[in-house]
């Protein structure tokens, strides 16, 4: 599809981790001239500068940073849909990729105003002013909750009420339902990535989000999962390319997609142990590793500073227990719909976990975990 055929593409969240990866893949490409980025900024020049700064995290070449111009920027905020959608540039938008969200595992006060109310109001208003052909809503595979089958089919619908481990996944469940049920004219496509960790070339340089948990488990030599358990992790650059394809393809076979490694490509924790150890230049934990119940993490607080570096032991135990609940699920997500679109599958996490490990050593675990509890 040519850029003209795709029409104007609007991407939200371009200064964040996932949206930034999308912008990094788009900049300088065939769709870039007609790409618009909704950015929280007082004016286009400030928004341009914010995007350029975000793209530096993805090692975007200086010449491509210069390609980010004021014409690509729409100043606006999901929390003020009327003002954002008043910009004349949005009247030509046909495709939307909504990556904007508060992606915090804390009970952040803006989770509901942004992820639910703001997103809904923005989609409703944009539907009124733009000739929309497709609205790709980025959710999360874990919005089905921890009680889903071990290998979740794309056709599986979670019975209500869904139990959630964190408020973030609840907001993603709710906004999907509202967009689908209350805006039937919206050309909605739902894309649910699984656990997004690192970048295949840059490791955790763009963001240490979630990787710090794997690092902590290896350093502690204990965690809530067994080494034989699998975890469905995908790299942010692959997710970005898959989302761009779902946004710009002329036609799609489905309206719902898992962006996942799936049962065939999910890595075991034993495989990750080997890959991460190689990246760190140390021996794998292997036989020293012990699976423990989450409650035992509280009894290990005295070891945290010695093994994990400077940290608040109480906060660290709480965070590790939260992530330990996800890690012990041994859950994967089928992604046959992506294959139907001809989108290549992701690399297994173990294939690039060593890159993540090597890039993570310059910061403490406490510094890295801030990315998930902002």
CATH for 165: 3.40.50.720
Calculate what percentage of the chain has a pLDDT beyond 70. Answer: 98
Tokens 């403490």, residue?
364
pLDDT at 140: 98
Give 226's contacts (C-beta < 8 A, 6+ positions apart).
269, 291
- The number of folded domains in the chain is 2
Write out the H or E segment, with its range, that includes residue 366.
helix 365-369
First to last CA, the chain: 38
C-alpha to C-alpha distance for 354 and 361, rounded to whole angstroms: 11
> Are 176 and 216 members of one domain?
no
Cα torsion through 174, 175, 176, 182, rounded to 10: 100
Calculate what percentage of the chain has a pLDDT beyond 90. Answer: 95
> Are 108 and 226 members of one domain?
no
> Are 124 and 36 members of one domain?
yes
In a domain? residue 167: yes
C-alpha to C-alpha distance for 95 and 107, rounded to whole angstroms: 31
Does the predicted model carry a pTM greater than 0.75? yes
Least confident of 56-65, 122-131, 133-142, 320-329: 320-329
The mean predicted confidence, pLDDT, of the chain is 95
Burial (CB < 10 A; 0-12, 13-18, 19+), residue 66, is exposed
Domain that includes residue 306, residue range? 201-231+264-331+339-374
In a domain? residue 283: yes
Where among 141, 173, 193 does a domain terminate?
A: 193
In a domain? residue 317: yes
Task: Dig out the tokens for 47 from the structure.
Answer: 């928004």
C-alpha to C-alpha distance for 322 and 330, rounded to whole angstroms: 15
pLDDT at 296: 96
Over residues 189-244, the pLDDT tens digits come to 999 999 999 999 999 999 999 999 999 999 999 999 999 999 999 999 999 999 99
Q: Please, which pLDDT band fits residue 59 given cuts at 50, 70 and 90?
A: very high
Task: Dig out the tokens for 174 from the structure.
Answer: 């709710």
> Are 216 and 304 members of one domain?
yes
Cis peptide before 313 (omega within 30 of 0): no
- CA-closest candidate to residue 323, choices 202, 233, 161, 212: 212
E strands present in the chain: 8-12, 35-39, 73-75, 93-98, 134-138, 151-152, 188-193, 195-196, 222-223, 230-231, 233-234, 256-259, 267-268, 290-291, 332-333
Where among 136, 164, 193 does a domain terminate?
A: 193
C-alpha to C-alpha distance for 199 and 43, rounded to whole angstroms: 31
> Are 175 and 73 members of one domain?
yes
pLDDT at 7: 63
> Are 165 and 293 members of one domain?
no
Asked if pLDDT for residue 4 goes beyond 70, the answer is no
Question: What angle do the packed helices 17-26 and 236-248 form, to 10 degrees?
Answer: 60
Query: How many angstroms separate the Cα of 79 from the Cα of each of 91, 100, 180?
Result: 19, 11, 20
Q: Stretch 88-112: mean pLDDT, rounded? A: 95
> Are 9 and 40 members of one domain?
yes
pLDDT at 286: 87
Where among 193, 210, 241 does a domain terminate?
A: 193
> Are 17 and 150 members of one domain?
yes
């Amino acid at each position: 599809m040519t850029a003209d055929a795709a029409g104007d593409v609007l991407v939200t969240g371009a200064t964040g981790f996932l949206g930034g990866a999308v912008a990094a893949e788009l900049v300088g490409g065939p769709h870039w001239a007609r790409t618009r980025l909704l950015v929280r900024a007082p004016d286009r020049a400030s928004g341009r500068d914010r995007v350029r700064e975000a793209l530096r995290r993805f090692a975007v070449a200086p010449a491509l940073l210069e390609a980010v111009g004021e014409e690509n920027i729409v100043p606006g905020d999901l929390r003020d849909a009327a003002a954002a959608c008043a910009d004349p540039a949005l009247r030509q938008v046909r495709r939307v990729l909504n990556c904007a969200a508060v992606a915090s595992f804390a009970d952040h006060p803006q989770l509901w105003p942004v992820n639910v109310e703001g997103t809904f109001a923005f989609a409703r208003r944009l539907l009124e002013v733009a000739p929309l052909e497709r609205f790709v809503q980025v959710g999360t595979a874990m919005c089905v909750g921890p009680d889903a089958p071990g290998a979740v089919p794309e056709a599986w619908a979670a019975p209500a009420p869904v139990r959630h481990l964190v408020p973030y996944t609840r907001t993603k469940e709710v906004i999907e339902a509202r967009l689908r049920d209350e805006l039937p004219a919206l050309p909605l496509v739902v894309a649910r990535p699984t656990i997004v960790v690192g970048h295949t070339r840059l490791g955790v340089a763009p963001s240490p989000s979630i990787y710090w948990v794997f690092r902590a488990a290896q350093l502690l030599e204990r965690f809530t999962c067994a080494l034989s358990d699998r975890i469905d992790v995908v790299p942010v650059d692959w997710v970005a390319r898959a989302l761009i394809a779902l946004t710009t393809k002329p036609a799609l076979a489905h309206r719902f997609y898992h962006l996942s490694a799936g049962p065939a490509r999910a890595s075991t924790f034993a495989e990750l142990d080997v890959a991460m150890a190689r990246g760190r230049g140390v021996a794998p934990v292997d036989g020293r590793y012990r699976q423990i119940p989450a409650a035992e993490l509280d009894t290990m607080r005295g070891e945290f500073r010695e093994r994990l570096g400077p940290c608040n032991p109480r906060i660290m135990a709480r965070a590790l227990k939260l992530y330990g609940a996800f890690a012990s699920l041994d859950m994967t997500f089928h992604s046959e719909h992506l294959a139907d679109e001809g989108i290549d599958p992701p690399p297994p996490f173990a294939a690039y976990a060593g890159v993540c490990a090597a890039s993570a050593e310059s910061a403490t675990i406490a510094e890295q975990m801030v990315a998930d509890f902002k």
